[in-house]
A and B are shown apart, each in its own frame.
Chain A
Amino acid sequence: EAGVAQSPRYKIIEKRQSVAFWCNPISGHATLYWYQQILGQGPKLLIQFQNNGVVDDSQLPKDRFSAERLKGVDSTLKIQPAKLEDSAVYLCASSWDREYANTGELFFGEGSRLTVL
């Protein structure tokens, strides 16, 4: 079974530029998550999708971050304009359904590492 795919793995941009990250979840997984992991910290949930609807985006900085999951499969996370403090690893994760994440059946991709200069 293929895992969660993310691209690009690494991105370096100047502040105020824009960047987009792509995620392809495990086939059949209804729930998709974007987490932000700043160096030395644990992952922090940015947004949670159930199929193509947003369940929780309470911690997404909506003035600069946006995310979509068209057709309930792939997802894109965009940052525009980027700030220095956005330097982090952006992890995509998926689960069969929301309840499965509670029991640890949450599968992460390898992440997209962003450096903002």
Chain B
Amino acid sequence: GAGVSQSPRYKVAKRGQDVALRCDPISGHVSLFWYQQALGQGPEFLTYFQNEAQLDKSGLPSDRFFAERPEGSVSTLKIQRTQQEDSAVYLCASSLVRFRGAGDEKLFFGSGTQLSVL
């Protein structure tokens, strides 16, 4: 596609529900990041994929958060048993090249999914 696509744009969940957020990166992009942006804050890193391999999940806040990218393209961020503190915008970003080297990598962001947990 022309850009990074995320769905749904808005998601309202009752506390305790499981949610799944989808990211379609730009076709052919190797690197994929998930960020969490709480209200009034800057985005914070959650996890990083290089193709299908999840190379860094150090930012995931708890074991209720799980991300996958099984075929190296579409990625899903799953949150189990949602809590009110999970309310945030979840941003996905992709890049053509690997991030473990120096280079002129440009990162493309999606418009995010705004999750509200009631």
Partners in one complex: no
Which residues of A pack against B, CB within 8 Å? none
